[in-house]
Amino acid sequence: MRAQFLVLAVSLAVACGGESPVPPPLTPVPDAAYLAEIESWRAERMEGLRRPDGWLTLAGLYWLEEGVNTVGADPASDLVFPAGKAEARLGVLHRADRQVRFEASTASVVSHDGEPVTSLDLASDVGGEPTTLEHGSLSFYVIERGARVGVRLKDRDSELLREFAGIDHYPVDPAWQIEASFEPFAEPKMIPVPNITGDVLDQPSHGRIVFTIAGAEHSLEPLGEPDKELFLVFGDATNGAETYGGGRFLYAGPPDADGRLRVDFNKAYNPPCVFTPYATCPLPPPGNRLRLAVVAGEKNFGAGH
């Protein structure tokens, strides 16, 4: 998966390269209220990352085969969990198409909502909250990505979580708080959204967000309903250098009655894949690769993934 990601990241960096407009000038003294807003947003973001079930706890990603999939720390298992944190044999995951059932080993201690589990049908993350199983500091649940069904493993005692010291940011610059307009499509269209695992999922977009920076017009195609917050997966010319090679995320809107909204790139943030190779992050769709350097928001974390 790492090799596949590198190919995707290089492709994105090339796509975002070329001549770039000069970004807006740094505002020397941002408004105190605006600074407080951004600091509050960053604090909330850090609090979310430090949760005992947050992205910093990811410890494994496994794709299930049809039929029997053995689980445990035994290297002969189909799903090999971390040694020293799991028993040699925890049990078996039975997959029948998109249905998954867990059967515990008699000697294992696996629970769900605090109750011991011997046999349990597992709901995936597609319909909302998945059925989560616990064993010591580990937890795991079923995910669906395209045609694949897998298991995501978390460790609330992960080294990354214990040692996490925060993320670097560009200086807060109100000039990157951009006034924009939402231009709805005549009909919602499906846009291809690739992800880090190599899948491409068609997702609905109801319009495009249009804005001007340094005299040049740019646009992004958001996901989500236009009467709610719009979700942006975007790339720019900083990717692969100062920011994560796979792009960044941002929420905007919703637009007002006149279609006006504000896009605040100071709140651009890293996808989970910057922290771990076990996430399944979306990458910027073709229409969301800006040919300028967005020197605002979160910078890369470590060497990235």
pLDDT at 107: 84
Q: Count of CB atoms within 10 A of residue 95's CB?
A: 20
Tokens for 5?
């990601």
Which amino acid, residue 104? A
Residue 165: phi, psi to the nearest 5?
A: -120, 10
Element housing 155 (H / E): strand 148-155
Checking if the pLDDT of 7 tops 70, the result is no
pLDDT at 11: 42
Comparing 106 with 266, which gets the higher pLDDT? 266
**Would you say 273 and 246 are in contact if contact means Cβ atoms under 8 Å apart?**
yes
Residue 74 to residues 116, 149, 276, 301, Cα–Cα distance (Å)? 22, 22, 23, 32
pLDDT at 52: 94
| pTM for this entry | 0.88
**Cis bond upstream, residue 254 (ω within 30):** yes
| DSSP code at position 18 | S
Please state the domain extents for the chain: 2-50+166-288, 56-163
For CA atoms 227, 283, 277, 79, give the dihedral sign. positive
Q: Specify the 3-state DSSP secondary structure of 131.
A: coil
pLDDT at 26: 54
pLDDT at 17: 47
Which tens digits make up the pLDDT trace of 190-216? 999 999 999 999 999 999 999 999 999
pLDDT at 18: 46
CATH of 56-163 among 1.20.1090.10, 1.10.3720.10, 1.10.10.10, 2.60.200.20: 2.60.200.20
pLDDT at 174: 93
pLDDT average, residue stretch 92-103: 98
Checking if the pLDDT of 108 tops 50, the result is yes
Which tens digits make up the pLDDT trace of 130-162? 999 999 999 999 999 989 999 999 999 999 999
pLDDT average, residue stretch 36-56: 96
Residue 121 to residues 75, 143, 172, 236, Cα–Cα distance (Å)? 25, 14, 48, 43
